[in-house]
Amino acid sequence: MTKTKGTAARLAEALSTVLGIGVLPIRIRAWDKSEAGPDHAPLLVVRSRRALRRILWSPGQLGLGRAYVAGEVEVPEDIFATFAALSSAGKLAETGPGGSLKMRDRWSLLKTAARCGALGPEPAPPPEEARLGRSGGRHSRRRDAEAISHHYDVGNDFYRLVLGPSMVYSCAVWNDEEAGLDAAQEAKNDLICRKLGLRPGMRVLDVGCGWGSFALHAAQNYGADVVGVTLSAEQAALARKRAADVGLTERVEIRIQDYRAVDDGPFDAISSIGMSEHVGRDQMAGYVSHLHSMLRPGGRLLNHAIAWNAGPARHNPDTFIARYVFPDGELLNLSDMVAELESGSFEVLDVEALRRHYALTLRAWVRRVEERWDEAVALTSEGRARVWRLYMAASAVNFEAGKLGVNQVLVQRSGGTEPPLRRNEWI
């Protein structure tokens, strides 16, 4: 057992209070070089009193996340092990200013901050935090465009570093754990093409097309004519260039357009890959209805989306993910997503859970960031690189623990050709 005297012991006490546990399962190293906690436990380094001040003002994952983004907290070893230990030991309060701690716990936290010389005004959030308050109501077209820009318009070169040559920013499909990220992403794109039953000459709408990877795959390998829509100017520019580079500008059209503004249906098939998380629960019925109206009779829609598995889904704007990663993003439970699709007059053909696949994908992305850390920082900012490392590692742990899932739900509009008798057509 490491020594438990000095500043580190007080920090361990503060984190235990926030987590609501008795013994902290990690090792703390404080700015005065003191340490507390089990010798071989995952290490968390607290570099500055400002980190404790942030936790005092926002006692939960938001305060701790801000401290990490600002460089006041460091995870110098295995970030997955550190986050898993913290997650399994207690529940990081999903709170913002004011918190939801009991009064006696807040008083204890205040006394700890006083002993450590951390009292003072609330530090300004790191500049990487989203600020959408003046952009209109939640999920208005203007605000959705700004939310998408916050996350996706941070530099195509940065995303190429994180994602690799595939430029696919959603869960891959791994034939085995050694398949490799690029092969797994190609397998995912091909699986979706087969599920949609793509054939030469079919007209496909790709909602939230990203950098055009699925659109290019569908056009190159299945002869489809694809319209891809995105709200990200940087994504659209690169997607168009990629299409031009392989001679597919006649078959792949990329638009900067809100899905609600698409009015040139019908399409033979629609893919929505990692996009519906941005729609919002209250807008989901409209999303389903509009995509239904854009499909010809008998056309298929594949909705690929992350799901919240840890109890009733809810939106909390004061989580780290909401403030730094996906502002205004909302996750639905799988049952709610299926219910929305069925209520929108779709017939469910297939549901495939890919939870373990996303954990593998996220670990591959984190590995790329860590191996090329200096380059990642140079391409964006140290704070932004920290945001990506933290959120992807935390997400991987939550997928592995079953708190998050990701599912492909394949549905069909009635009429037209009957679906196959068995799934063998696309597996």
Tell me the per-residue pLDDT of 336-363, one tens digit each, with 9 for 90 and over.
Answer: 999 999 999 999 999 999 999 999 999 9
Mean pLDDT in residue range 140-164: 85
3-state secondary structure (DSSP) of residue 167 = coil
Phi then psi for residue 108, to 5 deg, are -65, -40
Q: Which of 204, 200, 253, 196 is CA-nearest to residue 230?
A: 253
3-state secondary structure (DSSP) of residue 27 = strand
Tell me the per-residue pLDDT of 127-147, one tens digit each, with 9 for 90 and over.
Answer: 999 887 655 677 788 888 887
Instruction: Give the residue with greater pLDDT, 328 vs 398.
Output: 398
Q: Percent of the chain at pLDDT above 90?
A: 73
Where does residue 311 rank: exposed (0-12), middle (13-18), buried (19+ CB within 10 A)?
Answer: exposed
pLDDT band at residue 93 using 50, 70 and 90 as cut-offs: very low
Instruction: Check: CB of residue 300 under 8 Å from CB of residue 196.
Output: yes
Instruction: Check: CB of residue 377 under 8 Å from CB of residue 162.
Output: no
Phi then psi for residue 410, to 5 deg, are -100, 125
Q: Which CATH number fits domain 145-425: 3.30.1360.120, 3.90.79.10, 3.30.360.10, 3.40.50.150?
A: 3.40.50.150
Domain chopping of the chain, boundaries: 7-115, 145-425
DSSP string, 257-323: --GGG--S--EEEEEEES-GGGT-GGGHHHHHHHHHHHEEEEEEEEEEEEEE-SSS----TTSHIII
Mean pLDDT in residue range 299-307: 97
Instruction: Check: CB of residue 44 under 8 Å from CB of residue 82.
Output: yes
Instruction: Check: CB of residue 162 under 8 Å from CB of residue 376.
Output: yes
H-run or E-run covering 346: strand 346-353
Tell me the per-residue pLDDT of 42-85, one tens digit each, with 9 for 90 and over.
Answer: 999 999 999 999 999 998 889 999 999 999 999 999 999 998 98
| pTM, 2 dp | 0.93
pLDDT band at residue 90 using 50, 70 and 90 as cut-offs: low
> For residues 405 and 307, what is the distance between their CA atoms, to the nearest angstrom?
5
For residue 164, is pLDDT > 60? yes
* Per-residue pLDDT, 135: 58
